[in-house]
Amino acid sequence: MKEPGWHNAPVPTLGPTSARLLIVGLAPGLRGANRTGRPFTGDWAGDLLYETLADCGFTRGSYDENGDDDLELIDTCITNAVRCVPPQNKPTPAEIKICRTFLDQTIAAMPRLKAIVALGRISHDSVSRALGEGPARLPFAHGREFALPLIGGGVTLFDSYHCSRYNTNTGVLTPQMFRAVFSRVRDLLDGVSASPATAEPQ
Ligand code: URA
């Protein structure tokens, strides 16, 4: 093993199961979550995610890239579609399928769940399968919202481009676009009515 001091293992979901919001990333970053053992902790994607969550009232305390902090998620859980760092940073269909068992369990363990933010298409596809829908009925699009029936009440699936360094460096995703998605989630959870962009499954 190259870095025996690192976590180097499946990265567990972060946050309380009583949360109403679940954020689903792609997979642990090699030098980020795979090092620290906490989702999105220690890489660029995490810097942007945790800053945005703080701005929208989903965290308290401070975030440190080594996880050596007093960060607390408020009403929020964070997980990944794939739980281990994938070879070449690209999860295989088999890995995604196997890890969906954990995603199913994570969703089932959240009785108050109202909103899921899927970061990127792979995460979106895995979440939509976990919700018994499937990507053909729920095509991914940044900023799109899907109101879905689910056991125990309705859940809205929010799509965002992944907050990776690649996406922000190429301008695919700006911090403002990312923040707008979480502002919508904030509004939904605070009881502000849905925007016209809300779509029913096709
Ligand atoms: N870190 C994670 O935990 N997930 C991602 O998708 C990216 C970085």
Is residue 14, in this structure, part of any structural domain at all? no
Give the predicted TM-score (pTM) of the model. 0.94
Domain that holds residue 129: 21-190
Is residue 12, in this structure, part of any structural domain at all? no
Q: What is the pLDDT of residues 108-119, one digit of tens each?
A: 999 999 999 999
Is residue 5, in this structure, part of any structural domain at all? no
The number of distinct structural domains making up the chain is 1
CA-43 nearest atom, ligand 1: 8
Is residue 13, in this structure, part of any structural domain at all? no
From CA 158, how far away is CA 115, in angstroms rounded? 7
Measured in Å, residue 120 CA sits from the centre of ligand 1 at: 11
Task: Identify the residue whose C-alpha is closest to ligand 1 atom 1.
Answer: 40
Q: What is the pLDDT of residues 154-176, one digit of tens each?
A: 999 999 999 999 999 999 999 99
Domain holding 63: CATH number?
Answer: 3.40.470.10
Is residue 54, in this structure, part of any structural domain at all? yes
Mapping DSSP to helix (H, G, I), strand (E, B) and coil, where does residue 192 land?
coil
25 lines ligand 1 (CB under 6 A): yes
Strand runs labelled E in the chain: 21-25, 59-60, 72-73, 76-80, 115-119, 145-150, 153-160, 198-199
Is residue 158, in this structure, part of any structural domain at all? yes
Q: What is the pLDDT of residues 42-89, one digit of tens each?
A: 999 999 999 999 999 999 999 999 999 999 999 999 999 999 999 888
From CA 34, how far away is CA 98, in angstroms rounded? 18
Is residue 8, in this structure, part of any structural domain at all? no
